[in-house]
Amino acid sequence: MGTENENNPNFRKILIITLTSLIGAVLVYFSVMCILAPVRKLQEINEKYAFQPDEKNKIDERIYSDSAYLKLLKEKSFLQSRIAMAESDSIYVTINIPDSTIDLEICGVVVHSTKIQKMSISNIIKSGNEYIISSMLSKPFSIENSFSTIPREPLMIKMAPKDTSEYVPDVVPDTAYHEPVNYVLEMSNGTRIFVYQAEFPHSGDKMHLFKFDMKYRLQNTFNAIKRTMVFKVPDYHPFIKIRIPMADAKIIYRALPVHGQIAVYR
């Protein structure tokens, strides 16, 4: 009986329609959950950094939409972040979006600066409420995890000679080739900062970047699928993607502490 049903054209047609509908429903559900992710993230940011009125000293809320006030607020927030990082006595990074620059600083002094050649910013950071985003940027971002194509501290393993007869002097390494430099900095507040090399001096560099980026995307997609399977909205991460010269990208990555800090001015 089962074999007759399987050979029945109508049965196969119904089976195909059922499977197609099921797959379509799953894709629609996953798409809707992914669309809700940035909406939920924006709500979280708004709730955390929204203006809290003081009942004793009431202020006209129209000031929070005044362009002159918001410009001063942005500058104040950036200075607050830099001051907080300078007090740590450690090297840190500042990203100036309007000037398209990224700097390494220590105690308020710029020790290395480079021009951002290309940049992409998530709408939450770029087009969000001026007051709320400035409030969010008033504190530095702290690095929680990082994924990179290069080691943070390059190592060279050498076998010690038994005596002077086995000693071989060091040979100056060939610096003509530079390994591809691409990395992602995952911040403790959920923001992601992507740093990619701007130039591709070798034919395989573009493919290397594609594989690195695809691997990171697949990992995040897998995490999103796991959350949707238990009926949870996937996490959304506001991002800043920048392209800078390869040498500068390597300097910045290796200069930053493992849990270093970054300030952003937008």
pLDDT in tens, 32-68: 888 889 889 988 998 888 776 656 656 656 676 778 8
- Residue 86: CB partners within 8 Å, gap ≥ 6? 92, 105, 106, 107, 108
pLDDT at 158 (0 to 100): 54
What is the reported pLDDT for 31? 86
What pLDDT is recorded for position 59?
A: 61
Please state, in angstroms and rounded to a whole number, the distance separating the CA atoms of residues 26 and 243.
Answer: 36
Q: Which domains, ranges and CATH numbers included, belong to the chain?
A: 9-51+62-151+179-265 (2.40.440.10)
Predicted pLDDT at 94: 96
Q: What is the pLDDT of residue 17?
A: 85
Question: Which pLDDT does position 143 carry in this prediction?
Answer: 95
- Helices (H), ranges, 50-117: 67-86
Compute CA distances 182 → 35, 120, 146, whole Å.
28, 15, 11
Residues of the chain with pLDDT under 70: 1-8, 52-62, 64, 154-178
* Res 163: pLDDT: 56
Output the pLDDT for position 176: 45
In the block, tokens 């087009």 appear at: 127
Geometric angle at alpha carbon 52, from 97 and 193, rounded to 5°: 25
Which parts of the chain are beta strand (E)? 91-96, 101-106, 109-115, 118-121, 141-148, 182-187, 192-197, 239-244, 261-265
Rg for the chain (alpha carbons), in Å?
25
| CB atoms closer than 10 angstroms to residue 215 | 10
